[in-house]
Amino acid sequence: MRNAWTSGVDTISNLPCNVLDAVLGCLRWKDAVKTSILSKDWRYKWVTRQELDFNDEFFKSFKQDEEAKRIIYQVLLVHKGPILKFRFCRITSYPDIDHWMHFLLKKNVQEFTLHVSLGNEYHSPHHLFTFQQLRFLELQDCLFHPPLSFKEFEKLINLDLVRVTFDPSIFTYLIFKCPLLEQLRLRCCTNFDILEIDAANLKFYEFIGTSRLLYQVWVGDIYEPVVQLLRAQPSSSGVVKLQRVQVNMFTGLEMEMEFILASAPVLEEIFIWNCTRFLFRSCKQMIDEMKEFRSASTNVEFTFEEIDMEGGYEHEEVMEVP
């Protein structure tokens, strides 16, 4: 029996469209475009690619960023069909971002990532808040301010903000308008004293801060928390579906932990890690005190880890809170 090669049958070209998209999605941009010279049938297959990832590797493949941006414009102009996943990195031009976002308006984007290299001065594009199919959103180094016309992200599940500046009160409203939100990450974002989060489906919340406001105030032998991350509200559905809490590099969270334990009936784990042995001892003392808190969950496991950055010392303990 003759094989596909000797019989002249183009097996690859006859694959289902979703399989071809997956194959093209595994190629680098330059290689994907080169497939257009394989045959007449392949000339425009790459223009239906549903994942457009203009990451650091893409920009490094060009000698100048201007050449890379010219390619992005060309790709968006000829692209056909939906774009389910879109990623920008190392962007340094306001007008370019705004123009590219306009191209995406009718592309049914579900996952969107934007890393800006403009010193945290760029306002998140207003077009972004019209993406009704959005399920994953990651923003880095920009100002996050929804327009007055913003209604909701009705399908958003995952929100990841890195070095993003926002107004806490407006952010609270935005989270409220994300009814399906399950994962929220805030890393090195705006300084704030209080951030209220009302997300009934929230399952994972990560907060990492670098501001002094996020550490403790040393007064003699007393530690006093200066940040309240969560505040209970009688009318709020709270964190009823929260399963995991991760606390990084600061202590003094008794009030917040008491609220979480009392309001999260399916809570499974609270993970705490610190960078010094001294703070590790304070974590153990804090967890001993938490044993007295009323817990809505029948079995919460505390995992706390000591990490000595200089000496490489690492220690982990697990404690169940009845």
Together in a domain, 219 and 295? yes
Together in a domain, 172 and 238? no
Q: Which two tokens stand for residue 300?
A: 């919460």
**For the stretch 140-176, what's the b/e string if a residue is b when 16 or more beta carbons lie within 10 angstroms of its beta carbon?**
bbbbbbbeeebeebebbbbbbbbbbbbeeeebbebbb
33, part of any domain: no
Together in a domain, 177 and 207? no
34, part of any domain: no
| pLDDT tens, position by position, 262-304 | 777 777 877 766 545 555 566 666 667 766 666 767 777 777 6
Distance between CA 129 and CA 76 in Å, rounded?
Answer: 20
| pLDDT tens, position by position, 103-139 | 898 899 999 999 887 665 678 888 899 999 999 999 9
- Tell me 37's DSSP state: G
| pLDDT tens, position by position, 202-252 | 878 777 764 433 332 222 222 333 333 444 334 344 456 667 776 655 455
Together in a domain, 99 and 214? no
* pLDDT value for 98: 86
- The CATH number covering residue 73 comes to 3.80.10
Together in a domain, 160 and 246? no
* pLDDT value for 118: 62
Pairing of strands 222-224, 217-219: antiparallel
Compare 38 and 196 and report the one with higher pLDDT. Answer: 196
Closest to 245 (Cα-Cα) out of 307, 282, 315, 295: 295
Residue at which a domain ends, from 149, 165, 187: 187
Together in a domain, 181 and 195? no
- Count how many domains the chain has: 2
314, part of any domain: yes
Residue at which a domain ends, from 157, 187, 217: 187
Q: Is 204 helix (H, G, I), strand (E, B) or coil?
A: strand
97, part of any domain: yes
Helix (H) or strand (E) holding 306: strand 300-307
| pLDDT tens, position by position, 41-78 | 565 566 778 888 888 888 888 788 788 888 888 888 88
**For the stretch 265-288, what's the b/e string if a residue is b when 16 or more beta carbons lie within 10 angstroms of its beta carbon?**
eebeebbbbbeeeebbeebeebbe
Together in a domain, 177 and 212? no
28, part of any domain: no
N-to-C CA span, the chain: 69
Together in a domain, 207 and 294? yes
Together in a domain, 286 and 235? yes
Distance between CA 14 and CA 11 in Å, rounded?
Answer: 5
* pLDDT value for 232: 36
1, part of any domain: no
126, part of any domain: yes
Structural domain boundaries, residue 159: 50-187
Residue at which a domain ends, from 135, 156, 187: 187
- Torsion angle defined by CA atoms of residues 244, 245, 249 and 253, in that order, rounded to the nearest 10 degrees: -150
Together in a domain, 148 and 221? no
Together in a domain, 129 and 241? no
Distance between CA 161 and CA 141 in Å, rounded?
Answer: 8
Together in a domain, 169 and 73? yes
